[in-house]
Amino acid sequence: MPPRKIIIDTDPGQDDAVAILLALASPEDIEVLGITAVAGNVPLELTQKNARVVCELAGKTDVPVFAGCDRPMGRQLVTAEHVHGKTGLDGPSLPNPVMPLQDQHAVDFIIDTLRREDSGTVTLCVLGPLTNIATAFEKAPDVIERVQQIILMGGAYFEVGNITPTAEFNIYVDPEAAEITFKSGVDIVVLPLDVTHKALVTQPRNDAFRDLDTPSGIAVAQMTDFFERFDKEKYGSSGAPLHDPCVTAYLIAPELFSGRHINVEIETQSDLTRGMTVADWWGVTDRPANATFIGDLDADGFFALLVERIGRL
């Protein structure tokens, strides 16, 4: 099978960085057409910079990086420095990027790419709030039917929420964008907290990255060292959940994951439950299925894949 053509839409973020490294290390499976940055974990000025920092860490400076929307569609931006640090990539000390940021707006890059490539051949891998994606769909509705698949990290059912008691961060930041995306009719795969909280970087897994003894391996170990403090304190878990790499790992090895094809709606009205993913896991409504909602993964297989691939960089 030829590699899947993807656009990575992202708000790096240490876990976004690991997801990007996995994609860039896997050319036989994935062709990264471009990386589009969005405001999320930290403001856009930092996420677009961090995306370039990660490309340079991987030695892939020919991947075009675009800056997109600097705020949600209809709300103030909420950021997560309390998790990711001031830069969004706290942990390792990485040089400022020298590779250029593309002039084109990320939304226009998404639209042009979907129009240029054969219909049904481009997958959108979304690691942050869905602002760029929904803005592209609003601006150019003709591209919606051309998307092969959207694979996104966001939402939760059993784990409910991380930024509020009922909402996961990516969906919470821009629930209107999430609603547009989930109602678009595109084939969607969701990697919610239910699965990412099972992808924990325990000490032996952190050691395996560090023992690669390469710039990327050491940086991944330092990044997870940094942001595990937050989750350890909050959840008492044995390490940091690698949320976003579940997206790129799903592309490469979907057999590591399992879930259900169900209906998922987004709460946009209530102040109390804003951004909740109302997932009909138990099939108690007759609302039509619109997403494959992943619930479980083979965590050892996932980390073996990550270490093997990142070891190539």
List 82, 105, 197, 243, catalytic entry:
243
**Distance of CA 275 to CAs 42, 70, 109, 254, Å?**
19, 19, 27, 27
- Is-catalytic flag, 82? no
Burial class (CB in 10 A: 0-12, 13-18, 19+), 127: buried
Residue 88: contacted member of Ca ion, ligand BDR, none (CB under 5 to 8 Å, by partner type): none
Name the minimum Å distance from CB 267 to Ca ion.
Answer: 20
Name the minimum Å distance from CB 286 to ligand BDR.
Answer: 30
- Peptide bond preceding 13: is omega within 30 degrees of 0, i.e. cis? yes
Neighbours of 112 (CB within 10 A): 15
Options 13-21, 27-35, 95-103, 303-311: segment touching ligand BDR (CB under 6 A): 13-21
Residues of this chain, 115-174, that bind Ca ion according to CB under 5 A: 127-128
Residue 151: contacted member of ligand BDR, Ca ion, none (CB under 5 to 8 Å, by partner type): none
C-alpha Rg value of the chain to the nearest Å: 18
Number of residues in contact with ligand BDR, rule: CB under 6 A? 15
Tokens 């639209």, residue?
111
Beta strands 240-241 and 200-201 are antiparallel
Q: Which of 31, 26, 99, 22 is nearest to 66 (CA)?
A: 99
Residues of this chain, 130-169, that bind ligand BDR according to CB under 6 A: 153, 162, 168-169
**Beta-bridge partners for 103:** none
Q: What separation, in Å, do the N-terminal and C-terminal C-alpha atoms of the chain show?
A: 23
Q: Which amino acid is at 161?
A: G
Does 13 bind Ca ion (CB under 5 A)? Our answer is yes
- Let me know how long the chain is: 313
Name the minimum Å distance from CB 196 to ligand BDR.
Answer: 7
Q: In terms of CB distance, is 129 or 217 closer to ligand BDR? A: 129
- Cα–Cα distance for residue pair 204/194, rounded to 1 Å: 22
Residue 216: contacted member of ligand BDR, Ca ion, none (CB under 5 to 8 Å, by partner type): none
Residues of this chain, 23-42, that bind ligand BDR according to CB under 6 A: 41
Does 127 bind ligand BDR (CB under 6 A)? Our answer is yes
Site string for ligand BDR, 74-93 (x = CB under 6 A): ------x--x----------
Does 16 bind ligand BDR (CB under 6 A)? Our answer is yes
Q: Which of 226, 250, 227, 230 is nearest to 298 (CA)?
A: 250
Q: Which of 9, 15, 179, 267 binds ligand BDR (CB under 6 A)?
A: 15
Q: In terms of CB distance, is 170 or 268 closer to ligand BDR? A: 170
Options 6-14, 30-38, 55-63, 160-168: segment touching Ca ion (CB under 5 A): 6-14
Q: Output the DSSP codes for 110-160.
A: HHHHHHHSPTT-EEEEE-S-SHHHHHHHHH-GGGGGGEEEEEEE---SSS-
Residues in touch with Ca ion (CB under 5 A): 11, 13, 16, 127-128, 244
Contact residues for ligand BDR, defined by CB under 6 A: 13, 15-16, 41, 80, 83, 127-128, 153, 162, 168-170, 243-244
Residues involved in catalysis: 243
